[in-house]
């Protein structure tokens, strides 16, 4: 009798649950395939907020800046040009005043006009709230932007005390403008930590819906950019978070997903066979997005010795990382770490005379010359003072490409007699070790494609040295001369190419002599796409100007949005 | 009766208190700092990083001594406040759980109840039926010994990839917005089926084996032989055997609940089903104290509540417990 009771109960519960789940859902629909673009690869977690000022979670709602909120300019890293966006133009009227003219006739998605006071309001938030990422330029003892003044309806003047031109240019395409009429009543907590649900923006797409594994964006048919850049063809964009690479790969091969920006090992073979499209037809298949750098903790012996660091740099077989760990999906990096797009700032003479390539014999020679010899005959060198050397190189567990790369690094180092093991802690403890200087060697790549070499040097030589190195220079390499050069670079006008090159050359000379960290390879802008529904994807040489096929947060302003606009429906 | 339940209730309360305390404590022993992890990718200038670190540490209430954090935690809990998630900042934990727990219940309840019901029925039916017994025994042992995750992967591969009849990820298609239509309900059930099936099959094997053994044991008992000697029909003998055999199975259900919930969590990860399984994994990787606490709070409460219900059921189905209580 109990078994019958159980069946009844479970059936009733099932029905109640079904009805409950369905009942709470509003009327929805099935998306038309020819109106919808399916993308994946940006989000690493469920959507958490649409607040453009919480920068670190924007990957989960990619498009919050770019679709929804927009910046004054876009920057095209491939042509090294700024594209006026919300701004119609911007210029330095003298060396301390920058003036922006907004486009006329733009509106927020609630119909209100976008005016100069919105821009002034947005920048002034940084003056009020120290917890906003861009506030150091407006607040505190390092501030260099004095006042923001509205001139008429469409002009804004920025008055600087001591402008850091490089950073300012970077901010021009990274600070999202928010509507004053909706944000001025908000509390500090709302602005720094609010979810900003049902957001009102200005951009090409609007928030439609979301669930834990997707974001759906719907086209804004009244977008001001329709006349300037053209209207994007997809009516809806569904941004999917796949739980595993294999599901992502299957979906893009079947054509269920149009653009995948996940890192998928083995894509080279699939691209060669024509199952997916990639930017280049042959190696490295992908454009370069950032530089993977081996950080060395210079507060721990023997990484405090430049000779040891240099020997390590000569010992690493980067070709094995490129060919084996990545199966040709990446390219080896310049010893300066600058991306190919910024190669005009590379000092070729310095690289020629001071740089390094894979050369185990040279590595062994440097070690021997500096007193690193194998005393106890275990096959590994000891430090000049006779103490044993046993080091670890780390990356978070599950980051398969990096795990294979640190295995190559470990093998390379062992081949020249350095006892180096590869270890993979979980992400949380890896991150803590990274920022608390408790790691020995680890990989990091947190400087994205940018308009200026300062972005990379700000990561590599972040200063001053503090207990917690949260935003760069994780190995705490301390060199005041170098820090002064990085600061000087930040203050060079971005139009002064020779001035920038001169300082970069000095920085690179120190970097190549001292080897505070070792740039290894360029991580790719992972992108594989299907032609089955949407075409005109960027490929090498096919489109002019070239574009970035990516959905990663922070890249919509780097031309990602223009890629979307140029898509066409397949016949 | 009152004394019996009073004592049970007290034990459950103490268990709850201890379990929640351990659940609060363990994440805090993990190396690392959740706020640092959260802000690590903000990539800002050091001045901003320092201010932001202080600001958000305070916002999470992590700037006070640990004992104070513990008291604050209980205080907030009694006010229904589970804190703010670090991993999903700025979402409140209670909201995150509200969105995922329905999926867990939708998966767990049918899987637990149906596998228990079907397993017992089938086990009882198969016992002493030679041909069925010979096939059931090995299959049941294999099923119940299979790790949930492994069976999940096998099912996903067989039905999702090779046969391509069931989707292998998500709770409903990426081409749909939730709405009330047969198409959508069918889609939801299709996505639900494989994770449900992996939980169901493992449970089914275990219950069937258990019931088969119990029935054989009961059929050998004196009362069965006595009834047979009296000429009672086979069906009636088996009915009495079943009633006796079901009691240990009920106790078994209470004991197994924790294991089944843990199994559901990994199954959800395999099928990226949006319950708390995937959340908990991410929360642990990101040292999200508050989300870990919230997820475990749900598991603890659920398991204890179910145990309590089973206690009540036991009193109802087993007359001897009732008589024992009255006799006390």
Chain B interface test: which of A21, A428, A468, A554 (most B C-beta within 10 Å): A428
Does B85 fall in a domain?
no
Average pLDDT over residues A103-132: 94
Provide the greatest CA pair distance for chain A.
90
CATH architecture observed for domain A288-524: Roll (3.10)
Q: Do A470 and B55 touch (CB under 8 A)?
A: no
Q: What is the mean pLDDT of residues A247-264?
A: 87
Q: Taking 80 as the threshold, does the pLDDT of residue A2 lie above it?
A: no
> B157: closest CA among B146, B142, B168?
B168
Interface-testing mutation among B170, B172, B176, B288, with chain A (most A C-beta atoms within 10 A) = B170
pLDDT for A20: 53
For the stretch A217-233, pLDDT in tens is 999 999 999 999 999 99
Interface test mutation site (partner A, options B44, B50, B166, B270, max chain A beta carbons within 10 A) = B44
Question: Above 60 in pLDDT, residue A255?
Answer: yes
Q: pLDDT tens across A375-418, in order?
A: 988 999 999 999 999 999 999 888 888 999 999 999 999 999 99
Position B43 confidence tier, pLDDT thresholds 50, 70, 90: low
| pLDDT at residue B327 tops 60 | no
pLDDT in tens, B148-157: 888 988 898 8
Lowest mean pLDDT, pick from A360-374, A404-418, B21-35, B294-308: B21-35
How much is the ipTM here?
Answer: 0.82
Average pLDDT over chain A, rounded to whole?
90
Task: Indicate the pTM of the whole model.
Answer: 0.87
User: Is residue B19 domain-resident?
Assistant: no
pLDDT, position A1: 38
Whether the pLDDT of residue A321 is over 50: the answer is yes
CB-closest option in A46, A428, A464 to B285: A428
Query: What is the tens place of the pLDDT at every residue in A523-571?
Result: 999 999 999 999 999 998 877 778 899 999 889 999 899 999 999 999 7
Q: Residues A126-146: what's their mean pLDDT?
A: 90
Are B52 and A131 inside 8 Å of each other by CB?
A: yes
Q: Which residue of B has its CA nearest to A50?
A: B90
In B174-193, the residues whose Cβ lies within 8 Å of chain A are 174-180, 183-185, 188
- Contact yes or no for B282 and A45 at CB 8 A: yes
Instruction: Determine the average pLDDT of the residues in B36-52.
Output: 73
Q: Which CATH class is domain A73-183?
A: alpha beta
Average pLDDT over residues A301-324: 94
Let me know if A12 is exposed, middle or buried by CB neighbors in 10 A (0-12, 13-18, 19+). exposed
Closest partner residue to B105 (CB to CB) among A9, A17, A250 is: A17
CB-based contact, B274 to chain A, within 8 Å: yes
Q: Distance between terminal CA atoms of chain A?
A: 63
Q: What is the residue-averaged pLDDT of chain B?
A: 86
User: Which CATH number covers residue B169?
Assistant: 1.10.3720.10
Domain definitions of chain A by residue range: 33-64+203-285+526-569, 73-183, 288-524
Query: What's the domain range around B234?
Result: 92-327
CA–CA dist A474, A434 (Å, integer): 6
Region of A117 on the Ramachandran plot (φ > 0 left; ψ -120 to 50 alpha; else beta): alpha
- Within a domain: B312: yes
Phi and psi torsions of A423, nearest 5°? -135, 140
Between A513 and A4, where is the model more confident?
A: A513
What residues of A are in contact with residue B245 (Cβ under 8 Å)? none
Out of A195, A212, A432, the one facing B99 most closely (by C-beta) is: A212
pLDDT at A76 over 50: yes
Residues of A in contact with B59 (CB under 8 A): 193
B49 CB-near residues (< 8 Å, 6+ apart): A468, A470, A471, B39, B42
- Edge-first strand order for the sheet with A205-211 is A205-211, A214-219, A236-240, A36-40, A259-260, A528-529
Residue B261 to residue B307: CA distance in whole angstroms: 13
Percent of chain A with pLDDT over 90: 71
Q: Are B191 and B170 in contact (CB under 8 A)?
A: yes
Three-state SS for A346? coil
Average pLDDT over residues B125-146: 82
- pLDDT exceeds cutoff 80 at B130: no
Nearest CA in chain A to B274: A212
Count residue pairs from A and B with Cβ separation < 8 A.
Answer: 207
The answer on pLDDT for A28 being more than 60 is no
A178: Cα within 13 Å, side-chain hemisphere? 22
CATH fit for domain A33-64+203-285+526-569, picks 3.40.190.10, 3.20.20.80, 3.40.30.10, 3.30.390.10: 3.40.190.10
Cis, peptide link before residue B187, omega less than 30° from 0:
no
Residue of chain B minimizing CA distance to A457: B45
Query: Is B42 a residue whose pLDDT tops 70?
Result: no
Q: Is residue B72 part of a domain?
A: no
Give the best-scoring range by mean pLDDT among B137-151, B189-203, B262-276: B189-203
Q: Which residue has the higher pLDDT, B131 or A213?
A: A213
Which residue in B40, B59, B84 is closest to A431 by CB distance? B40
pLDDT at B13 over 50: yes
Domain contains B228: yes
A459 vs B contacts (CB less than 8 Å):
43
Is B251 at the interface with chain A, CB within 8 A? no
On whether any CB of chain A is under 8 Å from the CB of B120, the answer is yes
How many domains in chain B? 1
Q: Per DSSP, what are the bridge partners of residue A237?
A: A37, A217
d(CA B267, CA B149): 5
CA distance A278 to B46: 37
Q: Name the residue of chain B whose CA is nearest to A58's CA.
A: B42
Q: Work out the average pLDDT over A262-278.
A: 89
What is the band of A10 on the pLDDT scale with cuts at 50, 70, 90?
A: low
User: Residue A191: pLDDT above 50?
Assistant: yes
Measured between beta carbons, the chain B residues lying within 8 angstroms of A48 are 85, 88-91
Tell me whether B44 touches chain A (CB under 8 Å). yes
Split at pLDDT 50, 70, 90, the class of B271 is confident
Local confidence band at A27 (pLDDT 50, 70, 90 cut-offs): very low
Tell me if A263 sits within 8 A of A245, measured CB to CB.
yes
User: Is residue B233 predicted with pLDDT exceeding 60?
Assistant: yes
SS (H, E, C) chain B: CHHHHHHHHHHHHHHHHHHHHHHHHHHHHCCCCHHHHHHHCCCCCHHHHHHHHHHHHHHCCCCCCHHHHHHHHHHHHHCCCCCECCCCCCCEHHHHHHHHHHHHHHHHHHHHHHHHHHHHHHHHHHCCCHHHHHHHHHHHHHHHHCCHHHHHHHHHHHHHHHCCCCCCCCCCCCCECCCCCHHHHHHHHHHHHHHHHHHHHHHHHHHHHHHHHHHHHHHCCHHHHHHHHHCCCHHHHHHHHHHHHHHHHHHHHHHHHHHHHHHHHHHHHHCCCCCHHHHHHHHHHCCCHHHHHHHHHHHHHHHHHHHHHHHHHHHHHCHHHHHHHHHC
Q: Do B46 and A466 touch (CB under 8 A)?
A: yes
Find the closest chain A residue to B318 by CA distance.
A2
pLDDT grade, residue A285 (50/70/90)? very high
A247:B43 CB<8 A: no
- pLDDT score of B128: 75
Please indicate, yes or no, if residue B58 is contained in any of the structural domains: no
**B107 in any annotated domain:** yes
For residue A3, pLDDT over 50 is answered with no
CB contact under 8 A, B87 and A435: no
Please determine, for residue A349, whether its predicted confidence score (pLDDT) is greater than 90: yes
**Domain contains B25:** no
């Amino acid at each position: 009798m109990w078994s019958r009771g159980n069946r009844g109960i479970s059936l009733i519960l099932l029905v109640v649950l079904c009805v409950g789940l369905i009942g709470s859902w509003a009327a929805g629909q099935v998306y038309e395939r020819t109106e919808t673009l399916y993308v994946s690869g940006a989000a690493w977690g469920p959507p958490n907020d649409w607040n453009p000022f919480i920068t670190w979670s924007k990957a989960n709602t990619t498009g919050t800046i770019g679709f929804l909120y927009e910046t004054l300019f876009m920057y095209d890293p491939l042509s090294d040009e700024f594209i006026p966006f919300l701004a119609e133009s911007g210029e330095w009227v003298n060396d301390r005043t920058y003036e922006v003219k907004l486009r006329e006739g733009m509106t927020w998605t609630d119909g209100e006009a976008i005016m100069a006071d919105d821009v002034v309001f947005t920048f002034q938030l940084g003056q009020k709230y120290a917890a906003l990422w861009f506030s150091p330029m407006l607040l505190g003892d390092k501030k260099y932007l004095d006042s923001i003044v509205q001139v008429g309806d469409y002009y804004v003047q920025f008055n600087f005390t001591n402008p850091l031109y490089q950073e300012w240019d970077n901010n021009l395409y990274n600070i999202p403008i928010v509507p004053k009429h909706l944000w001025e009543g908000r509390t500090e907590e709302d602005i720094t930590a609010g979810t900003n649900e049902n957001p009102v923006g200005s951009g090409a797409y609007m928030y439609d819906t979301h669930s834990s594994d997707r974001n759906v964006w719907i086209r804004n048919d009244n977008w001001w950019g329709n006349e300037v850049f053209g209207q994007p063809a997809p009516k809806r964009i569904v941004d999917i978070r796949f739980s595993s690479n294999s599901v992502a790969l299957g979906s893009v091969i079947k054509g269920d997903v149009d653009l995948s920006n996940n890192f998928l090992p083995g894509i080279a073979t699939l691209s060669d066979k024509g199952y997916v499209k990639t930017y280049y037809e042959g190696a490295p298949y992908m454009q370069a997005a950032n530089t993977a750098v081996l950080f060395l903790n210079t507060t721990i012996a023997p990484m405090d010795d430049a000779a040891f660091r240099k020997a390590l740099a000569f010992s690493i077989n980067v070709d094995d990382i490129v060919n084996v760990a990545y199966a040709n999906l990446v390219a080896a990096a310049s010893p300066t770490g600058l991306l190919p797009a910024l190669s005009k700032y590379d000092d070729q003479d310095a690289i020629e005379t001071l740089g390094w390539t894979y050369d185990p014999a040279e590595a062994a020679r440097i070690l021997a010359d500096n007193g690193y010899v194998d005393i106890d005959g275990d096959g590994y060198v000891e430090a000049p003072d006779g103490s044993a050397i046993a080091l670890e190189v780390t990356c978070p567990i599950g980051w398969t490409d990096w795990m294979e790369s640190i295995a190559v690094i470990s093998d390379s180092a062992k081949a020249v007699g350095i006892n180096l093991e590869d270890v993979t802690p979980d992400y949380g403890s890896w991150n803590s070790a990274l920022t608390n200087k408790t790691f020995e060697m680890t990989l990091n790549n947190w400087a994205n494609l940018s308009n200026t070499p300062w972005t990379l040097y700000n990561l590599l030589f972040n200063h001053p040295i503090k207990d917690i190195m949260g935003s760069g220079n994780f190995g705490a390499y301390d060199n005041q001369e170098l820090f002064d050069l990085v600061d000087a670079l930040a203050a060079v006008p971005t139009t002064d190419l020779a001035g920038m090159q001169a300082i970069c050359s000095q920085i690179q000379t120190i970097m190549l002599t001292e080897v505070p960290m070792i740039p290894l390879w360029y991580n790719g802008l992972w992108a594989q796409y299907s032609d089955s529904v949407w075409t005109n994807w960027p490929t090498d040489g096919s489109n002019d100007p070239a574009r970035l096929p990516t959905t990663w947060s922070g890249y919509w302003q780097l031309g990602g949005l223009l890629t979307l606009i140029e898509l066409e429906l397949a016949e | 009766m009152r004394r019996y339940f009073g004592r049970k209730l007290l034990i459950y309360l103490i268990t709850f208190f201890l379990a929640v305390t351990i659940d609060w404590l363990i994440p805090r022993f993990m190396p690392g700092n959740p706020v640092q992890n959260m802000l690590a990718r903000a990539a800002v200038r050091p001045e901003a990083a320092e201010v932001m670190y202080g600001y958000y540490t305070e916002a999470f209430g992590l700037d006070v001594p640990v004992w104070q954090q513990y008291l604050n935690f209980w205080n907030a809990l009694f006010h229904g406040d589970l804190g703010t998630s670090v991993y999903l900042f700025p979402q409140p934990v209670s909201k995150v759980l509200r969105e995922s727990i329905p999926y867990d219940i939708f998966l767990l309840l049918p899987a637990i109840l149906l596998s228990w019901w079907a397993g017992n029925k089938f086990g009882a039916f198969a016992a002493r039926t030679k041909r069925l017994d010979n096939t059931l025994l090995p299959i049941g042992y294999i099923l119940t010994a299979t790790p949930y995750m492994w069976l999940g992967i096998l099912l996903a591969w067989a039905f999702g990839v090779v046969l391509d009849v069931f989707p292998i990820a998500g709770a409903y298609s990426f081409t749909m917005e939730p709405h009330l239509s047969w198409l959508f309900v069918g889609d939801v059930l299709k996505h639900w089926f494989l994770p449900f099936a992996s939980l169901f099959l493992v449970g089914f094997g275990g219950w069937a084996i258990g019931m088969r053994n119990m029935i054989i044991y009961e059929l050998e008992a004196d009362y069965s032989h006595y009834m047979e000697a009296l000429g009672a029909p086979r069906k009636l003998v088996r009915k009495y055997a079943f009633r006796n055999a079901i009691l240990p199975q009920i106790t078994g259900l209470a004991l197994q609940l924790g294991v089944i919930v843990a199994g559901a969590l990994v199954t959800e990860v395999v099928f990226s089903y949006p319950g708390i399984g995937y959340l908990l994994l991410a929360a642990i990787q990101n040292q999200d104290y508050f989300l870990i606490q919230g997820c475990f709070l749900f598991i603890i409460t659920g398991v204890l509540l179910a145990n309590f219900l089973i206690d009540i059921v036991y009193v109802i189905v087993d007359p001897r417990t009732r008589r024992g209580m009255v006799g006390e």
